[in-house]
Structure 1
Amino acid sequence: MTTTDKPYGWSPDMHVPLLEKLKADLKTSMLQKNETLRNAIRQIMSEFPKLTVPLTLESGKKSFRLKTAEEITNDDILDIIRGLVKSEKTVISLKPEQSPEYLHILEAYLPKMASEEDIRSWIEENVDFSKFKSPTQAMGAIMKHFGKQADGNLVKRILDERKR
């Protein structure tokens, strides 16, 4: 089953804010009595109190307040999901008998990562290695282009191959 076959998940080309999609999927999961999906979405939403806005009070003291639903961006939620995916991968590595279904649900809400071929072709077309003393110095430009869509370890491995 691919992510397009699933009744849940999100991608930037849907033109729907991720928060709205999560709320709709939560409602659907409750109607369908899909506890695993419901619990995964609730876990994501339970992290929202970590999203804050810094404030400076009249006394000059620094403080913060929680972000309102209107202030929560797709990037905020994606960062939360990435953190949950990372911790779930750690749990699965320690307890291989653990079901990866929760992990698959979380990953369905993340945008597709850039493939190794995508990264290699972009590097060939856009990076002039004559400007760098070492190929790994191009990492900043590459990661700036791909952002969180590229795995830094993969980019580093591709650049390390150029050194040889």
Structure 2
Amino acid sequence: MASRALTYRVLAPLRLAPSTRQAPTVLRLGGRPYSTSTDAPPPLLQKLKGDLKTAMREKDASRLSVLRAILAATLNASKTANPIRTDVQLVALLRKTQRASLESAKEFKEAGREDLATKEEEQAGIMEEYLAGSGVQALGPEELKKLVSEAIEAAKGAGVAPKAIVGDVMKRLATSLEGKDVDRKELANIVRQMAEA
């Protein structure tokens, strides 16, 4: 009788009404779910990881600091809805980080901290090396102005309202700038200036 009571106590929690039953939890053994991606990492990212090891061996503090910051930002981006999957995205991240370093250097100079300004400028220079060697085609202001001019003419020819030209031009340029290194902020400024002229 005691064994029957024990069985009842153990099994009693499993006897739920059909509407409250839950599927059993299945534990997966083996690899982590996020490591099963078949996408190869961008070549530039692989280079950065290799250079991180070299910088550690050589005790290159400036390069090590830059590489750790970029790789940390890449890791953080992988946890969002827009992970970095291409060299173009990685170059955009490098540009953004470089711009922040240059702004910091300017602020340090204004505050009279030449030592910190020099450090930030050195880090921006290291990022420029990676940008130059990324293999991603960069477009300068003159090339952008030419593309924007053509897109504005096409938008006006299509009868786009003057208030909607900036948005229409940005949409038209999105496909032609795919896979190229473009400072989107600079592009938006050029489009606004040329659309108003």
Same fold (TM over 0.5): yes
Choose which of 96, 99, 103 in structure 1 pairs with 2:124: 103
Choose which of 166, 172, 176 in structure 2 pairs with 1:145: 176
User: Are residues 1:46 and 2:72 paired?
Assistant: yes
Choose which of 158, 161, 177 in structure 2 pairs with 1:133: 161
Question: Conserved in 2, the CA contact under 8 Å of 1:143 and 1:150?
Answer: no
Q: Please give the alpha-carbon distance, in whole angstroms, between the structure 1 residues aligned to 2:43 and 2:169.
A: 33
Select the structure that is richer in helix: 2
Q: Which moved more, 1:134-143 or 1:16-25?
A: 134-143
2:33 paired residue number: none
1:118 paired residue number: 143
Query: Shift of residue 138 of structure 1?
Result: 1.6
Residues 119 and 30 of structure 1: CA distance in aligned 2, closer, same or farther (over 3 Å): same
Query: Shift of residue 103 of structure 1?
Result: 0.9
User: Are residues 1:89 and 2:115 paired?
Assistant: no
Residues 102 and 143 of structure 1: CA distance in aligned 2, closer, same or farther (over 3 Å): same
Counterpart amino acid of 2:161? K
More RCO (CA 8 Å, sep 6+): 1
Counterpart amino acid of 1:24? G
Question: Conserved in 2, the CA contact under 8 Å of 1:19 and 1:74?
Answer: yes
Counterpart amino acid of 2:186? N
Aligned-CA RMSD value: 3.2
Q: Please give the alpha-carbon distance, in whole angstroms, between the structure 1 residues aligned to 2:187 and 2:88.
A: 22
Select the structure that is richer in strand: 1
TM-score (norm 2): 0.52
Query: Shift of residue 25 of structure 1?
Result: 1.7
Q: How many residues align?
A: 134
1:37 paired residue number: 63
TM-score (norm 1): 0.61
Q: Please give the alpha-carbon distance, in whole angstroms, between the structure 1 residues aligned to 2:106 and 2:174.
A: 27
Please tell me whether Structure 1 or Structure 2 has the larger radius of gyration of its CA atoms: 2
Residues 80 and 119 of structure 1: CA distance in aligned 2, closer, same or farther (over 3 Å): closer
Deviations 1:66-89 (A, max 9, x none): x8xxx8543554454344223223
**How many percent identity over aligned positions?**
19
User: Are residues 1:21 and 2:47 paired?
Assistant: yes
